[in-house]
Amino acid sequence: MKPWTTYPSNQKKSDFDPSSCSVFSADGSPSVEPATGVESSSKTQGNLKSKTSTSSGCWDIDSAEKIYNLPFSDLLFEAQSVHRANFSPNTVQISTLISIKTGSCPENCSYCPQSAHYETGLKKEPLMEIQEVVEAAKKAQAAGSTRFCMGAAWRGPRDQDLDVVCQMVSEVKKLGMETCVTLGLLKDHQADALRDAGLDYYNHNIDTSPDHYGKIITTRTFEDRIKTIENVRKSGVKVCCGGILGMGETAKDRLEMLLVLANMDEQPESVPINQLIAIPGTPLADQTSVDPFDFVRTIAVARILMPKSYVRLSAGREQMSDELQALCFMAGANSIFYGEKLLTADNPVPEKDMSLFSRLGLERLQ
């Protein structure tokens, strides 16, 4: 039996009752009736209590498509209502992500400039020194980040390298920052070691739907990714898991990716949604951008299906307009990656982000 599913684990697809989910009325039609008092998060907590009850294993593709295809304003209203029932509506978590070991990765992810399979002009760099990472974390914290993520271009870490990463995690934790690492495939004892070092989150994305996955990467399976997520979850470390839009997938693929996440025994606490950055030299260099409204719809569905997860705008923000990002925040996105670089890719400069926050009346999570 596959360790993941795109429909409820204990139900056949034909048995699914959409009225069991908060965004559907008793007749199975999408429910977008206004709730009283949505103007403030404190009032919303009581009035939208049903919006917080969507649990793992509640979703199938038919219900997800019904939500996705709602009239745009209805979809955003529903997503914003769910968001307000679970989070402060105008607060955004600021995260910083750095590459602690760059390039020469043996995997063939079609989107990635760090793969050794492609000529992208990226300079290979060894594992950073611990103090270098600490200084980068201090700089990020001074700029307003409360979360610091460290990424390494590996298939998976060797134990001797993991020992160094664990020291990095411990030192960053001393600064009072939330910590995250993304190191590739992870064994159970390695997850335990990271937990013992104080790690808060482990990022390992599923990238896309199970059906589309084989068109994007062949050097590791979808099941490999799920196994790593299971190892992380068993260790007690929180899960950060999302995907990438714009890799030639269909709208149904995007929804099925979200369903895998939403139907996990425990939904990821953090769900990064990336827009493909088409890097010259990679197989996806000529992909066209995702329609902005389709991107926002996907964010909204992620928020509705996973009401208590942070939904993070990740790679690709440098190519997004302020208006698109504003719609994403309305749709329930409540975290961004912050700083001039996101691993090896360009990212909006902090001043640009703070200007946008000011114009939208958004505040940083403290």
**Marked catalytic residue, from 21, 58, 240, 241:** 240
**Marked catalytic residue, from 112, 166, 241, 328:** 112
Rounded to whole angstroms, the Cα distance separating 205 from 192 reads: 19
- At 338, the pLDDT band (50, 70, 90 cuts) reads confident
- Asked if pLDDT for residue 49 goes beyond 90, the answer is no
Rounded to whole angstroms, the Cα distance separating 90 from 213 reads: 35
Is 180 an active-site residue?
Answer: yes
| Least-confidence region, from 40-49, 196-205, 229-238, 259-268 | 40-49
Is 105 an active-site residue?
Answer: yes
Span 67-122, pLDDT tens digits: 999 999 999 999 999 999 999 999 999 999 899 998 779 899 999 988 888 888 87
Is 241 an active-site residue?
Answer: no
For the whole model, what pTM was predicted?
A: 0.86
CB atoms within 10 A of CB 175: 13
Let me know if 242 is exposed, middle or buried by CB neighbors in 10 A (0-12, 13-18, 19+): buried
**Marked catalytic residue, from 21, 58, 109, 328:** 109
* Cα 15 from chain centroid (whole Å): 30
- Asked if pLDDT for residue 210 goes beyond 50, the answer is yes
Q: What average pLDDT does the segment 112-134 reach?
A: 88
Span 297-328, pLDDT tens digits: 999 999 999 999 999 999 888 889 999 999 99
Q: What average pLDDT does the segment 137-142 reach?
A: 92
Span 212-259, pLDDT tens digits: 999 999 999 999 999 999 999 999 999 999 999 999 999 999 999 999
Span 178-197, pLDDT tens digits: 999 999 999 999 999 999 99
| Per-residue pLDDT, 119 | 84
Is 328 an active-site residue?
Answer: no
- Asked if pLDDT for residue 47 goes beyond 70, the answer is no
Place of tokens 């269909």: 250
Let me know if 312 is exposed, middle or buried by CB neighbors in 10 A (0-12, 13-18, 19+): buried
**Marked catalytic residue, from 297, 312, 317, 328:** 312
**Marked catalytic residue, from 21, 180, 241, 328:** 180
Is 112 an active-site residue?
Answer: yes
- Asked if pLDDT for residue 54 goes beyond 50, the answer is no
Is 21 an active-site residue?
Answer: no
**Marked catalytic residue, from 21, 58, 149, 241:** 149
Is 58 an active-site residue?
Answer: no
Let me know if 217 is exposed, middle or buried by CB neighbors in 10 A (0-12, 13-18, 19+): buried
Which of 302, 353, 355 minimizes the C-alpha distance to 145? 353
**Marked catalytic residue, from 21, 58, 105, 166:** 105
